[in-house]
Structure 1
Amino acid sequence: MKENIKKGLLFFIIFLFFICFALFVRNTGFTKAADKEVFSIVPEENYLKLGVHIKGGVKNPGYYEFTHDARVIDVIEKAGGLTEDADVDSLNLAAYVKDGSEIYIPKKTQTQSSQVAEAYAEEKVYETAAQNTALQENAAQSPQNAPGGKININTAGKSELMKLKGIGEKTAQAIIDYRNQKGKFTSIEDIKKVKGIGDKKFEEIKDKITVN
């Protein structure tokens, strides 16, 4: 009988111990520590990872913050989307943006103006080059008149050679081609080596030409 009482009392004491321990855990630092752990996790989910400034062809240009990795297209969407005159042909919409970066969305009018300016500059370069070439050609063909008003057949251009009696455009070009291929004439008689100039024509022009 006494043994049964002792066993019952022992079980009762153990039961009270567990009850007290449970109450202790509930009202002490274990729960508070758990609460603190949960509290410390929440701000990390809202941690600011990057800030981006976007301007140009978007509806709401300005500064935007992201709590996750963002691409250019994400920033555009957050800024209200593109305007009607936005030009994104030169942009990589899939590119990731970095914290503190600035994105500029060009507009079609600006792109067209730039293209016109580039085309105009390129045209001016070609025009200048053409003018320089023409000046060089004119300088090469400019007649260097010898004393007495004679035409130097080694330096005269086509128009100057055509002033000679019986020398047309075709023959004048033949004279120029000959001296370009064979070199300068060493005497006025050498002009008879040019196709189209015989003794008769030479007699008509010999007093009007020189090689010096």
Structure 2
Amino acid sequence: MTERSHDPQNEQSSAVRPTAGSSISIFAQGVALAGVIALTVIITLWISRDSAQPGVEIHIPTPAPVTFQISGEVMRPGVYSLDGDPRIDDAIDAAGGLTSDADDGRINLALHVRDGAKVVIPAIGSTGETASPDPDGPSRGGIVLGGNATSGLIDLNTASKDQLVALPGIGDVRADSIIEWRTNNPISSVNDLLAISGIGLATVNSIRDHVTQP
């Protein structure tokens, strides 16, 4: 029987020598651990960045005031500005309330007042229709009296003095002149007003969009 020589040093060296498979496994574990550490660092930095950014602020714009003119039978006729969504009732309150001559039965207090509107409060006994909203917007006065309810414009042949006074550039004296002139001269065009002393082309053009006559 042949005896093998016993070499303890060779045995120890053989026991601790890593195989190729175990080396690959250790390398893979190292790569995986490095990946986890890197991902943790990235997530931490991302959270830190978001925390450092200022909060998002939402600004809700404040509606601009509604500016309008009110005339006729109110205590303080003039131009006023109100916040929110004012109605005729609010416009009258801003002007100090109605006079004792106001025909409140012909006023729709619930009508909205548009920016740039002209509100005319009729007197008792004056002719014309009640206030009606103007669908064409503030370029035509927003709210006017008289005319037909669909257009919101006034008829120069039937408008009351209050309604005529409310037209741009007319006033008391010219309103009286129009009423006197139309008695014998029916108005078929706004240009007919040029025949009245004291009314020029500038005045005619300023009221053109407020009346039914072309």
Taking structure 1 as the reference length, what is the TM-score of the superposition? 0.31
Structure-2-length-normalised TM-score: 0.31
Query: Which structure has the larger Rg?
Result: 1
